[in-house]
Amino acid sequence: MEREIKVLQEKATRDIDGARTLEELEEVRRRYLGRKGALAQFIKRLGTAPQEVRPLLGQQINRLREELENLYASRMRALEEEALQRRLAEETLDITLPGRRRKIGRLHILTRTVREIQEIFLRMGFEVVEGPEVEIELYNFERLNVPRDHPARDMQDTFYLEGNPDWLLRTHTTAVDVRVMEGRRPPMRVLSTGHCYRRDAPDASHSPMFHQADGFMVGEGVTFADLKGVLMTFAREFFGPQTRTRFRPSFFPFTEPSAEMEISCVFCGGKGCAVCGNGWLEILGCGMFHPRVLEMAGIDPERYTAFAFGMGVERPAMLKYGIDDIRLYFENDLRFLEQF
């Protein structure tokens, strides 16, 4: 029986060490240490052993039980630890995985361009204002000396509001000039920016909604030389110090004299290319406010003079950033927007 105990010890030790899971270990425990397990069988058989060896065998069995219980306990701790580690490994983040990059938004290129224009004029002492996008004919047309039969007033060119025939989506931010002049006394230097609307079918260079920056300066002794100085400064700051400008006679109902300002082509530097043709690019319309316009705003045209200008925002930005289709601004394609 002593020999059998020895064999059992080896076998049980091997089985306990070999248990791969807590379930297997429990199985092994039952087999050797359980109520009907191998050690219990030995104890039962102890009664049949010769009287003189019984105490010794009893001691050996007890020692083996103790030894196996210790082994069992430490194996159990090891398996529990392993299971814990496995669960932790499965549940923790894999820090070697590349993270999900959170996309950071940015300002639309047109918003940035509007702000850039505003900053240039703010540095020249202009005040930046905004006005309503739904305007009345009085401010959009009449007070700007735009006659009844002017094509801009045509239903085909302008969005009128249903049910309010003299309400419309403003066709230019120049309407804001009128509102500001009406409520204040000279001198004033004001820039207004915002959306404008015209019934243009969208193509590469037209959009029914677009942005304008419109400004004026009114005071005693304001001349066309002031206009040129301000607008040439703007052109050089916006397009770069190498930019040259020229003014060509033009016509607007609300200015007299009127002019178009052109800049030397940003692509060829003025030599002439496919974009500009003759080396010049039209940028904005300008002129001295018509005395009638000042008068209608309650400003004495005998005492005060004013220059005014208006430009789109889309086109200067297209020239500056090399964008060749105005529709790209409004398609919300991130591949386009993320370039700026």
CB atoms within 10 A of CB 309: 23
Among 33, 265, 293, 294, binds Zn ion (CB under 5 A): 265
Q: Does 267 bind Zn ion (CB under 5 A)?
A: yes
Helix axes 224-239, 314-321, angle to 10 degrees: 40
Cβ-contact 313, 320 below 8 angstroms: no
Stretch that binds Zn ion, among 54-62, 214-222, 265-273, 310-318 (CB under 5 A): 265-273
Q: Does 268 bind Zn ion (CB under 5 A)?
A: yes
Among 43, 78, 107, 273, binds Zn ion (CB under 5 A): 273
> What minimum distance in Å lies between the beta carbon of 323 and Zn ion?
16
Nearer to Zn ion, 53 or 273 (CB): 273
Half-sphere exposure of 155 (CA within 13 A, CB side): 3
Tell me how far apart the alpha carbons of residues 151 and 157 are, in angstroms, rounded to a whole number: 7
> What minimum distance in Å lies between the beta carbon of 133 and Zn ion?
34
The distance in angstroms from the start CA to the end CA of the chain is 90
Stretch that binds Zn ion, among 136-144, 196-204, 232-240, 268-276 (CB under 5 A): 268-276
Nearer to Zn ion, 171 or 264 (CB): 264
Tell me how far apart the alpha carbons of residues 264 and 266 are, in angstroms, rounded to a whole number: 6
Among 8, 276, 288, 297, binds Zn ion (CB under 5 A): 276
| Phi/psi of residue 198, nearest 5 degrees | -145, 150
CB atoms within 10 A of CB 45: 13
Stretch that binds Zn ion, among 18-26, 170-178, 236-244, 267-275 (CB under 5 A): 267-275
- 45-74 residues in contact with Zn ion (CB under 5 A) are none
Contacts with Zn ion, residue ranges (CB under 5 A): 265, 267-268, 273, 276
